[in-house]
A and B are shown apart, each in its own frame.
Chain A
């Protein structure tokens, strides 16, 4: 048993941090996110060259051939930097295809996802509290050996920038299917939506009589159920990694503020009313890190533990990050309420992270159920 990062992972960690500090400081993030697409295509190309988009895709397909611990190491840093990009969706699409798709489908999609030419999105959820396992709303009818799929998915992360989309639908026998399709296909429209957290982009995805060919289908029936659940677990774990980074950053900013700000003749961090909440946030962040590491490890090494581990991590992290966001603003006082101060960017990220890949209500219920209640 070993809870540590390898030397290579430590190196990846520090390189990711250095890159983001240099190339994407928060004033750059603010500039980038004022553009309609919400990310910088040039930076996207650079991180693809660094191997981030293909982290968990095999070398055979142009990826880095690394694992989920490497992935969360990078996502902790993109979370810390609030790096605006469709990285999570692209990584999860690649991870799911790499682990569950046919060889032909891997050939078709993985090189593009690894190189960053392809940007993924996951149109899987009905709403944040109940990812609809077994009851995907888009419905399909048979059309020869293909399907015709109609329905909508709301608030799909990264949909406005996606070049390909993972969809779930049920056929007329109520069997579930998962398919990966080009976003530019006739029958798919994406309506970009405004976001409170401008470092993130979402859109409503409408499928209207979309033709899904047999070669697009990744999995069907019980298999599809399993792949869908695992994909959502991966999304929850990836989001938790970004929560850890963002939470650590906003906590560090607030600790520094408590050391610098003098009131009543002393740095406010001396007072227990300030010190104790900061200590509790630290304990929460340590706990998120422990829960996250185990969940990420389980995805590859102990898949039977992954559902419970992922839900524990996302449920705990969601509630803790929500509190940290609010607490950090309150500890800053009026200056935390300004547009200029960066702490508000992290508060907005906490609002974004809450429903992503299932909110606390969904994941706590899953923890209860998987825990035998």
Chain B
């Protein structure tokens, strides 16, 4: 057990801080394309996008510990994201590195690393949500191509993405072994993207129709029938990405700021012991998430790939979001009925909590795959 950082790691932390001092952009410019372009170019020059990816894949070859330091420092400085494509960098790239051919890596990784592509992910279908393996979108082999027909839904960023990382059915009789992973050009003839406004009216996700879309067999990731295996790894990375404690640490700081300003019956809210205890409980749980994440990282340092343990932090995040927003809106009092930041995030956090598998699915995974209870 050793939570000390080495001299090299401490030096790296200083390097990150110096980088942030030079290149960071204010939070209100995080959506400004020109400001972001400068930020991305500086990151690319450092090879800090795909920081821990192997050098031969074009990544930075950095250690997982240094990556942890990089993310913590960036989060603390409220810096923009490490790259422009969360989905591409969090799970498409790692899936390409683990399962792709040399040719496929050459084809897609450079654009990912240079912020020149955006990926979306095609898992859910209208009748296949939590029961993902029941998916029906068909891919029929015809020479060097698959003909893909079906429908995906809740597809975040499909309206902006150049590529979709998706699951199709190549064999109807075999529930898991009939699933294959393909990478499809979103400009292919036969694809239609329709927006689905979310509950605050934003356009973030879509339904996507595939009508006899021709996909080269060269775009298949892994062998035919190996899609479920590819996606289990991708989902573990997605759950890790969603449950990074850095986001929750920031949210806790915001909640403390709110509590310092809030009053109840003319008295400071922080004089209420139950308010203090509630915030302290969140602090303990977020600290547990951070340390759980570090413990999982230790397993990865020994060469294990992320797996079912990622459901632990994914589960912790759900109730935390719900309860932290409940307290925040309570502290706001009557102001909670007006539009505002907490009011907005109290509605949109549901997307993060359901995405990557709902809390009930996480508890099924833990119950069945970790505790060995019988399948539902």
Interface residues of A (CB under 8 A from B): 1-6, 9, 69, 255, 258-259, 266-267, 269-270, 272, 274-276, 278-280, 282-283, 286-291, 293-294, 296-298, 301-302, 312, 315-316, 319, 360-361, 364-365, 367-368, 371-373
Bound CA–CA A4/B298 (angstroms): 7
B298 CB contacts on chain A under 8 angstroms? 1-4
* Sample of 7 more A-B contacts, CB < 8 Å, known A1-B298, A287-B291: A69-B1, A270-B374, A276-B367, A301-B4, A316-B288, A371-B280, A372-B256
B312 CB contacts on chain A under 8 angstroms? 282-283, 286-287
Given known contacts A272-B360, A287-B285, A373 and B276 CB-to-CB distance under 8 angstroms: yes
Given known contacts A258-B373, A283-B366, A290-B291, A315 and B4 CB-to-CB distance under 8 angstroms: no
- Name the residue among A290, A296, A360 with the largest chain B CB count within 10 angstroms: A290
B371 CB contacts on chain A under 8 angstroms? 255, 269, 275, 278-279, 282
Bound CA–CA A69/B279 (angstroms): 29
Q: Are A293 and B1 in contact (CB under 8 A)?
A: yes
Given known contacts A280-B363, A290-B295, A316 and B285 CB-to-CB distance under 8 angstroms: yes
A293 CB contacts on chain B under 8 angstroms? 1, 291, 295
Considering the complex, give the chain B residue whose CB is closest to the CB of A4: B298
Question: Is the CB of B191 closer than 8 A to any CB of chain A?
Answer: no
A129 to chain B, nearest CB (A): 11
Q: Could you jot down 6 A-B contacts, CB within 8 Å?
A: A1-B65, A2-B1, A291-B287, A315-B281, A364-B277, A373-B280
**Which label, helix, strand, loop or mixed, suits the secondary structure of the A interface?**
helix
B18 to chain A, nearest CB (A): 22
- Name the residue among B65, B316, B374 with the largest chain A CB count within 10 angstroms: B374
Considering the complex, give the chain A residue whose CB is closest to the CB of B295: A3
Bound CA–CA A361/B274 (angstroms): 10
User: How many B residues, CB 8 Å from partner?
Assistant: 49
A70 to chain B, nearest CB (A): 10
B316 CB contacts on chain A under 8 angstroms? 283, 287
Could you give, for residues 320-351 of chain B, a 1 whenever the CB lies within 8 Å of some chain A CB and a 0 otherwise? 00000000000000000000000000000000
Q: Are B373 and A301 in contact (CB under 8 A)?
A: no
A364 to chain B, nearest CB (A): 4
Bound CA–CA A367/B288 (angstroms): 13
Question: Is the CB of B163 closer than 8 A to any CB of chain A?
Answer: no
Interface residues of B (CB under 8 A from A): 1-5, 9, 65, 68, 256, 259-260, 270, 273, 276-277, 279-281, 283-285, 287-289, 291-292, 294-295, 297-298, 301-302, 312, 315-316, 360, 362-364, 366-368, 370-376
B368 CB contacts on chain A under 8 angstroms? 275
Bound CA–CA A288/B287 (angstroms): 11
Bound CA–CA A9/B276 (angstroms): 38
The contact of A270 among B9, B287, B375, by CB within 8 Å, is B375
A2 CB contacts on chain B under 8 angstroms? 1-2, 298, 301
Bound CA–CA A324/B277 (angstroms): 20
A57 to chain B, nearest CB (A): 20
B283 CB contacts on chain A under 8 angstroms? 312, 367-368, 371
Q: Are B4 and A259 in contact (CB under 8 A)?
A: no
A153 to chain B, nearest CB (A): 25
Given known contacts A272-B360, A367-B284, A372-B256, A282 and B370 CB-to-CB distance under 8 angstroms: yes
The contact of A368 among B5, B277, B292, by CB within 8 Å, is B277
- Name the residue among B284, B363, B374 with the largest chain A CB count within 10 angstroms: B284
Considering the complex, give the chain A residue whose CB is closest to the CB of B376: A270
A183 to chain B, nearest CB (A): 35
- Name the residue among B285, B287, B364 with the largest chain A CB count within 10 angstroms: B287
A6 CB contacts on chain B under 8 angstroms? 1
A7 to chain B, nearest CB (A): 13
Q: Are B288 and A291 in contact (CB under 8 A)?
A: yes
Q: Are A315 and B65 in contact (CB under 8 A)?
A: no
Given known contacts A283-B315, A291-B291, A312-B287, A1 and B367 CB-to-CB distance under 8 angstroms: no
Bound CA–CA A287/B301 (angstroms): 20
B280 CB contacts on chain A under 8 angstroms? 315, 364-365, 367-368, 371, 373
